[in-house]
Amino acid sequence: MATMKQVAERAGVSTSTVSHVINNTRKVSAEVRERVLGIIAETRYIPSAVARSLKNDRTHTIGMMVPNSSNPYFAELIQGIEDAAFKLSYNIILCNAYDDPVKQAAYLRVLLEKRIDGLILVASGADATLAELLSTASVPMVLVDREVAGVEADFIESNHEEGGYLATRYLVELGHRRIACVSGPADLQPSRDRVAGYLQALREADIAFDPACLVHSDFTSEGGFNAFRQLLQLPTPPTAIFASNDLMAIGGICAAAEAKVRVPEDLSVIGYDDIALASYSTPRLTTMSQPKYAMGELITQLLLARIARTGGEHLPLRRELLHTTLVERQSTAPPRSH
């Protein structure tokens, strides 16, 4: 691989001049510029971002830590971020923590060594070690969906409580009175928020909350499958279920089908996230749509704004709560008795 020095020699100029024609950073005579450009093409010279980064203290690389990039919600979020980042000349290093704080810490360490310009973190666990590591790292950072105790950083999420509320209220308005909820892991704040919204909607409708109607699962299709099966075996099964994400809703619908429970005739199901497949599952899934693409763009913008100010005056901490919107499709309907 050719180096700038070699290019300079062959062009009969200094590396300084070569550098400037590459970066358009100072006036260079047309003649010299052409000559240099010619040699660059001829030698297929490609500047080293590594060397440049060492000099500039900027890698134009962002670390993205998620629990699981195969989960369609994260996959779509990542894609939005990657897209926005590309437009701004940043690359993404993808890290799957699998909800393992140890693995997450190991990754963080590597990212810090690689001198990422910024970090987008959907935290797995929130042990003290993480807060410790993060606060001493002092890398520009934005937290998504999950806050980390003791870490001050921009934070973005959709309004989970509102989402849970709207989903449940929609079911109530359809005429349902026995409404169950399949929640995500109880130790995740977004899960709890969505449940809070669910309870709030129930309360407003004067529907007594039956603890048997709330089951905690794990945000996977399989988990949803099992949770629905359990709910459908209740003495008085629900006529509607709010699933805390689309994966569980889809798995749940599968369980309903196997139990000969028709959706939406016998059971209404509403999901959360609005992943791409929700539009084409059978039946098409009614769901609370999270603005994933907008989130991706906003996250990237916030992070880059913070990166731009590194060392400068402190930007005020931002906390963004995005709205979710109801997408009515075919998995919900008024209850049978109506």
Residues in contact with DNA by the rule CB under 7 A: 1, 3-5, 12-17, 19-20, 22-23, 25-29, 31-33, 45, 47-48, 50-52, 54-57
> Least distance in Å: CB of 254 to a second copy?
5
Q: Is the Cβ–Cβ distance between 88 and 109 less than 8 Å?
A: no
> Of 338, 139, 153, 164, which Cα lies nearest the Cα of 241?
164
Identify what 23 binds: a second copy, DNA, none; CB under 5 to 8 Å per kind: DNA
**Residue 172 interface partner, choices DNA, a second copy, none, CB cut-off 5-8 Å depending on type:** none
**Closer by beta carbon to a second copy, 170 or else 225:** 225
Closest separation in Å from C-beta 241 to a second copy: 15
Cβ(45)–Cβ(38) below 8 Å: no
Which is closer to DNA, CB of 54 or CB of 110?
Answer: 54
Nearest Cα residue to 300 out of 320, 281, 314 = 320
CB of 337 to a second copy, least distance (A): 24
Residue with Cβ nearer a second copy (75 or 305) = 75
CB hemisphere CA count around 45 (13 angstroms) = 22
Interface residue list for a second copy (CB under 8 A): 44, 46-51, 53-54, 59, 61, 68-70, 72, 75-76, 78-79, 82-83, 86, 89, 91-96, 103, 107, 109-115, 136, 221-222, 224-225, 247, 250-251, 253-254, 257, 276-277, 279-284
Nearest alpha carbon to residue 243 among 167, 177, 172: 167
Quickly list H helices, the chain.
Answer: 4-11, 15-23, 30-43, 49-56, 72-87, 101-113, 128-137, 160-174, 189-204, 221-232, 246-258, 292-308
For the CB of residue 65, give the shortest distance to DNA in the complex, in Å.
Answer: 22
Query: Residue 175's Cα: distance from chain center in Å?
Result: 34
